[in-house]
Structure 1
């Protein structure tokens, strides 16, 4: 409704556009000149980026700023753990962007002037963020006057949250302009050479069709190809770059689920039976539900198809009829028909919104007085549409306040309730969190029967006694199996397969499948190999874990990767054996069909393969085979070729060379470069920044 409402309601759409960008300072100069806190004590250091130490205090400022934005947008004073974790992660990305990109912007001399910012907000072509915020949802027309009105209102604003939120939006616009300028500089330096065009033509112009056979590596048993640890170490040394790793941990754990006992079910059922008569007969059913139900009383009136299947029979009943108690999906229910009305299925309305200038009592009194005076004018015959255009703070003012048709519940509750209970053509004042609305129902939809049903529900949950019993069981398991050897032996003896989580990193918020398990991740990085955790309560279960693998950053120990490397060594040895055998057979039998018959292999055929082809339809990813085929003469037996899955022999039987347009090829390559320029430069800069992430010390 009001601009403030629109900002809040559209934040979901903005989030995908805005929040992902760096939350830089709230003013232009702060973006490029933000000071770095130097505390000297490394215990407060949270990162090192481009050789610069970043202290916890600075990161915490990012977190606090973004937290206030979320609180303003959601209207909530507190944020849940999931949201706090999300904000911390976004703040980290923003901090990294400022250090990495801010340095780069300064190095190339980029700037964004205040004139540019003004033009993006109020110019003839406003920034998409601004256009999105101030576009009428009904007419899809951008309301430039609303932008100016909103900015002007900030001059008198006493609530810092609204000002900071707007400055935050400006900060995102500024950051995006910096990014656009920087990427444009890079794109202007990109071009496609004639040699690149010719290579692309050469790679794609010749297409071949060929027959091939393959001898799979699996035809030789692994047991026939022994691999020594010394070979593994030698291979690891020669291919060190390929095996560099980040620090990670593996755990295996046993879960003790916290589920209600038979006694817990019986207790809830007994309570429902004991209190059902009072629920069915009490005069103040709303208070009874609100005091005793898991879900508060709903005053909404529903059509038959909107009722839960289990209580639909009440639709044809009379006030006072009831159902239950009954059990479904872990919850006991009972319901009572409290009212029947004939109401419109939808209404058409218009309104004038008078929004207080700030959160003071004086501002609210002033807004209420203005709404009262406008209502008096309307009752004397004033034109509603004209008053809306001149006084309403909502985007619908442009349309004379018209909101069109809407169903019950589509608007905020006080507004919706007033509209669906009002008579046609009788304006009234309604107060919502957005201000004071003078609302008039201009038309009512088809009148239908609707019912109000009081539903009392109680979910069966594990009682304190049940939880304590499950905890004691988990605690006994942890105590009796306090070493890695005992843990593994007990599980094997009892036939229990533990759950496993692999490659946990120190900044993971939780173990996959275990909600709120950050402490388990932190434990894994503090513990020693084969340590057993204490009992941890994670969501709806208690967990006991064993640290089963430790990987430090850098080159792994040969023992950790011996299976992986042994597989590669065996593959190479098998390839050499098969290639040697096939070469001898080719020399003796230069026929693909006879060769396949001798190797008990089948001959496959593929068509129109070029050097740029990604894979073979019947053999998968085999770049070496594709390369060999595209340069092979027609009818010549080619091979053996060492592939990913086996050794191949092929024979091209047809080729087709097509003329490719140099202009089209050049354009395609250029577009590919331009697309990659949108993300690769930033990724490279971050990689070169040698970022050391130490957040796990604090969270």
Structure 2
């Protein structure tokens, strides 16, 4: 993250030295303490992939490494719960892919030699991970000398940095193995001339065709009666098309934990008493920090930037004026005018930053704080006497790598957006002044280059108290939820109880084992784990789940295991297709009865309400103009001879009668090189993206992650 961006956010600076390469390890926190749900079972096997056991402790270390890399890449100090969960999933995908890849390349004898790896790191054309990680901070260009210097001193560098480099080296090796494996598959594809000729003819043989469609919509669904035998027949013929991953359906009810009338009355009395103290407090910062839900904000506010309830009052009152309490966003708020000043709204400056070891600005610096101070003093004196030197030094010795690219220029920034010492120096100085200040980032030699015209600003102290439920209210709601769970007993009782208590029943369908949230419930992993527990049966009532502000009880409505779904699970979904089959039978019978030959066609299609179309079609086409995807219909078209009429053909959208009016063969062609190349390139593209998924489908994976998170 650029230094100036961090100064503006007034937070610590993390400089990414090995940023882009570590993006391969974009991942997060997991197993950070050993007392997770998996350890309680005394089981350290998180997975078994084709017989290879994956230890939870190894997975733990992998995720911890990835989490640190993610923090470096994003500049974040902490990751949200959703980010952490997503990172766990990405880590899992990495482990599975790498395990399967290593197994395959081992069988095939594919390897990366030491010399080859060294060439990827220090050769004439180094790997992109190296190029991205070793750039000159001033020019942004790859610096081969820095790679050599780094490797020569590898045993002397910070252990954490050494570990990051070894992660890059490992990633390069794995990338090379993966590239070789994919290339082996891609290059193994051969296109015989007969295949190329067939593809050429499929794309270039053309048929002028008439087709007459009897749409399934001509028969209302309500008129179609289907039997269990019809469902059974369709299911048995098509169940291979509906393979599924394991999933669960649940119904659930929530009990929101909201402040009671007593809670609101109690908070109101407390806030009224607090307001009296607020108006008389001498140390406003200490008072706000000890009584408010939010810490004291010292920012200067311009007109229009305060809440509408207090904006006009604060800009037209004397210091000490207070207002409140009032309620906004379910929060009691009170305000007091602390100070009024006329200040610029925006400032402009350039700077030269001299950091030291421990500031985390420039990991390469070896300067102590005292040495950095001495260097900053020297630079300050030089630019004070020779102003022309400022731009030169700001671009060459500046530890703020972003600012160094613009000769130290920070552009315009809002008053108050920099760290306090920096902001005050620019605010209190004159345009053209050069000054020296210290911040947590090091020592800044600052040249003030601009200020906007001063405007009236105010500093306002705010005390905020959230109106939240008391412990008693939370316990009362939990008791209600617990009573509901104990009385429900089963699915029928669950539904009946909801009706009696006039609660709202919600449904979550096809919950996947990897989900972390449900509709309206952002942190619902514990519910997913419960629903997939081997002891949770269909119709089971869950315990009470605490979901931060609400309690939830669920009933397991359906269980879908991986593989072929049951007819009952598919019945509602396939009903339109089953009815379509019955419609097709009816339409085919009508067409056969009415159109027996070409002579019956013109009169017959009109009598049956069929739609007539004429188009030119190739065998390689997937879409039939006017109807969409109709592969089977187009395939049957090209079995006809010129002038021949088909029997009724069942399609996706209609039943068709087809007449092949004219067939134009593909022009003769001897050189089929372009066709071969096109087929080879298409396969090569698939070879780049599909092997990993193919290996997963073939693999035997025992996934025990639900025991751990």
Query: TM-score band (shorter)?
Result: 0.7 to 0.9
What's 1:620 paired with? Answer: 628
What's 1:690 paired with? Answer: 700
Distance between the aligned counterparts of 1:427 and 1:153, measured in 2?
A: 38
The TM-score normalised by the length of structure 1 is 0.81
Would the aligned equivalents of 1:72 and 1:162 in 2 still touch at CA under 8 Å? no
Q: 1:291 Cα deviation (Å)?
A: 2.3
Q: How do 1:337-376 and structure 2 match up within 5 A?
A: 337=337, 338-343=339-344, 345-356=346-357, 367-376=368-377
1:584-627 C-alpha deviation (Å, 9 max, x unpaired): 2111785556434433x352647554433343454333222333
Distance between the aligned counterparts of 2:677 and 2:304, measured in 1?
A: 57
Q: 1:466 Cα deviation (Å)?
A: 2.7
Distance between the aligned counterparts of 1:415 and 1:9, measured in 2?
A: 27
Would the aligned equivalents of 2:538 and 2:559 in 1 still touch at CA under 8 Å? yes
Q: 1:494 Cα deviation (Å)?
A: 6.1
* Larger mean Cα displacement after TM superposition, 527-536 or 390-399: 390-399
What's 1:438 paired with? Answer: 444
Rate the CA distance shift 1:464–1:576 in 2: closer, same or farther, 3 A: same
Q: How do 1:242-253 and structure 2 match up within 5 A?
A: 242-253=241-252
Would the aligned equivalents of 1:410 and 1:416 in 2 still touch at CA under 8 Å? no
Rate the CA distance shift 1:200–1:325 in 2: closer, same or farther, 3 A: farther
Rate the CA distance shift 1:237–1:656 in 2: closer, same or farther, 3 A: closer
| Secondary structure, counterpart of 1:678 in structure 2 | helix
Would the aligned equivalents of 2:245 and 2:563 in 1 still touch at CA under 8 Å? yes
Q: Determine whether 1:640 maps to 2:645.
A: no
Would the aligned equivalents of 1:134 and 1:395 in 2 still touch at CA under 8 Å? no
Q: Determine whether 1:88 maps to 2:88.
A: yes
1:490 to 497, 507, 514: 497
Rate the CA distance shift 1:22–1:478 in 2: closer, same or farther, 3 A: closer
What's 1:57 paired with? Answer: 57
Structure 1 unaligned blocks of 5 or more: 24-40
Q: Determine whether 1:522 maps to 2:529.
A: yes
* Larger mean Cα displacement after TM superposition, 121-130 or 253-262: 121-130
Would the aligned equivalents of 1:354 and 1:391 in 2 still touch at CA under 8 Å? no
What's 1:109 paired with? Answer: 109
* Larger mean Cα displacement after TM superposition, 443-452 or 385-394: 385-394
Would the aligned equivalents of 1:615 and 1:622 in 2 still touch at CA under 8 Å? yes
* Larger mean Cα displacement after TM superposition, 276-285 or 58-67: 276-285
* Larger mean Cα displacement after TM superposition, 244-253 or 411-420: 411-420
Would the aligned equivalents of 2:359 and 2:442 in 1 still touch at CA under 8 Å? no
Distance between the aligned counterparts of 2:74 and 2:595, measured in 1?
A: 73
Q: How do 1:397-546 and structure 2 match up within 5 A?
A: 399=405, 402-408=408-414, 413=419, 417=423, 420-421=426-427, 423=429, 424-432=432-440, 435-449=441-455, 450-492=457-499, 498-525=505-532, 526-546=535-555
| Secondary structure, counterpart of 1:587 in structure 2 | coil
What's 1:26 paired with? Answer: none
Distance between the aligned counterparts of 1:650 and 1:439, measured in 2?
A: 84
Q: 1:501 Cα deviation (Å)?
A: 1.7
1:431-467 C-alpha deviation (Å, 9 max, x unpaired): 32xx423331241243443544433333333332332
Distance between the aligned counterparts of 1:214 and 1:77, measured in 2?
A: 64
What's 1:581 paired with? Answer: 590
Distance between the aligned counterparts of 2:43 and 2:381, measured in 1?
A: 72
Q: CA RMSD in A?
A: 4.3
1:334-387 C-alpha deviation (Å, 9 max, x unpaired): 34443434236142312233230799xxx9995211221112212432645565
Q: How do 1:207-356 and structure 2 match up within 5 A?
A: 208=208, 210-216=210-216, 219=219, 221=221, 225-228=225-228, 241-280=240-279, 282-304=281-303, 307=306, 311-313=310-312, 316-317=315-316, 320=319, 324-337=324-337, 338-343=339-344, 345-356=346-357
| Secondary structure, counterpart of 1:61 in structure 2 | helix
Distance between the aligned counterparts of 2:131 and 2:433, measured in 1?
A: 34
Q: 1:253 Cα deviation (Å)?
A: 0.9
2:607 to 574, 598, 604: 598
Would the aligned equivalents of 2:352 and 2:408 in 1 still touch at CA under 8 Å? yes
Would the aligned equivalents of 2:333 and 2:462 in 1 still touch at CA under 8 Å? yes
Q: How do 1:163-242 and structure 2 match up within 5 A?
A: 163-205=162-204, 206=206, 208=208, 210-216=210-216, 219=219, 221=221, 225-228=225-228, 241-242=240-241
What's 1:377 paired with? Answer: 378
1:254-298 C-alpha deviation (Å, 9 max, x unpaired): 122223334444444554444345445534332232223332222
| Secondary structure, counterpart of 1:101 in structure 2 | helix
| Secondary structure, counterpart of 1:677 in structure 2 | helix
Would the aligned equivalents of 1:207 and 1:608 in 2 still touch at CA under 8 Å? yes
Would the aligned equivalents of 1:425 and 1:442 in 2 still touch at CA under 8 Å? yes
1:121-161 C-alpha deviation (Å, 9 max, x unpaired): 56665544454455578965556676677777865445x33
Rate the CA distance shift 1:340–1:266 in 2: closer, same or farther, 3 A: farther
* Larger mean Cα displacement after TM superposition, 248-257 or 570-579: 570-579
Rate the CA distance shift 1:342–1:214 in 2: closer, same or farther, 3 A: same
Q: 1:100 Cα deviation (Å)?
A: 0.5
1:547-584 C-alpha deviation (Å, 9 max, x unpaired): 11123344444444455566655543442332122122
Distance between the aligned counterparts of 1:319 and 1:163, measured in 2?
A: 60
Distance between the aligned counterparts of 1:394 and 1:609, measured in 2?
A: 64
Q: 1:301 Cα deviation (Å)?
A: 3.2
Rate the CA distance shift 1:530–1:125 in 2: closer, same or farther, 3 A: same
What's 1:673 paired with? Answer: 683
Would the aligned equivalents of 1:483 and 1:531 in 2 still touch at CA under 8 Å? yes
The TM-score normalised by the length of structure 2 is 0.80
Distance between the aligned counterparts of 1:357 and 1:649, measured in 2?
A: 81
Rate the CA distance shift 1:60–1:375 in 2: closer, same or farther, 3 A: closer
Rate the CA distance shift 1:198–1:460 in 2: closer, same or farther, 3 A: farther
| Secondary structure, counterpart of 2:334 in structure 1 | strand
Would the aligned equivalents of 1:251 and 1:500 in 2 still touch at CA under 8 Å? yes
